[in-house]
Homo-oligomer: A and B are copies of this chain.
């Protein structure tokens, strides 16, 4: 009718530029391009999502310097990164991912190998990473993959996302997270491809993993276990897990059936990685985090303000169970 050129989808770049560089309002762009305002709003959102629009903050400022250094004194840490706290779980995850992304980025240098664990928090990272071209980075999964519940459930998928985001190379660990039984697990571990990737993970420079609690929904791993299995693990003293390996209040491995079925690095092997970044937040994780920090399972902490404050409180009352 009136529009002679209104047929094709207008290029995102044009819209984005009109908005961000030329300062037109959504409405003005809509009029100019023959679209509805809402459509422009959505196209702009897409442009940001896809990465056509990139917003960078050039600054080394840390967000909560005080808390970060306090944590560094209270626990044996190389670094702590603290982000804002949120009521909403979705926002919290998003934000934590942003902090974690800044954190890993700080550890990337030429040829760095990063091992990634299975964790919802870790899955939130790739979206915030920015290309670090020319660094020749390698990304390795820490464990096998869990049946396809959600995308985040597979460290392999995660490794791919990371690799795509930072322009690195991803390796595959062709095995399930949990084998049917101890016997099957042993078979998997003998697979040469599995062995190769696990070795690569052991010798990684940086490790990034979530910390799981032992509450029923505190972590992706826990969610894959039956109530019975979980109860057994708790009975044996487990307070949390890192990359699928449960540990007790002394930071020691918790043996058992689940542990034998799991395909991935052992706690001792994890310790071999010099930089061990733990990402977690929330009341569920408080106990597990405190232990992981105190016993050096984790080296670098990424968390939010409220968890950080809780951890500082725990540090003052070391052994007494905080309730």
Task: Show the binding face of A for B, using Cβ within 8 Å.
Answer: 5, 11-14, 16-18, 20-24, 28, 32, 47, 51-63, 66, 83-84, 91, 94-95, 98-99, 102, 128
Contacts and interface: CB of A to CB of B under 8 A. Distances in A.
Identical subunits present? 2
Given A23-B95, A57-B53, A84 B13 contact: no
B95 A22 contact: yes
Contacts of A53: 55-58
A22 B98 contact: yes
Nearest to A96: B22
Contacts of A94: 22-23
Of A20, A63, A91, A98, the most chain B CB neighbours within 10 A belong to A63
Contact of A60 (B13, B47, B58, B62): B13
B95 A57 contact: no
Nearest to A98: B21
A47 B61 CA distance: 13
A16 B59 contact: yes
Given A16-B57, A21-B57, A55-B56, 18 more contacts: A12-B59, A13-B57, A13-B61, A16-B59, A21-B55, A21-B95, A21-B128, A22-B84, A22-B94, A22-B98, A23-B91, A23-B95, A24-B84, A47-B57, A52-B57, A54-B56, A54-B57, A56-B56
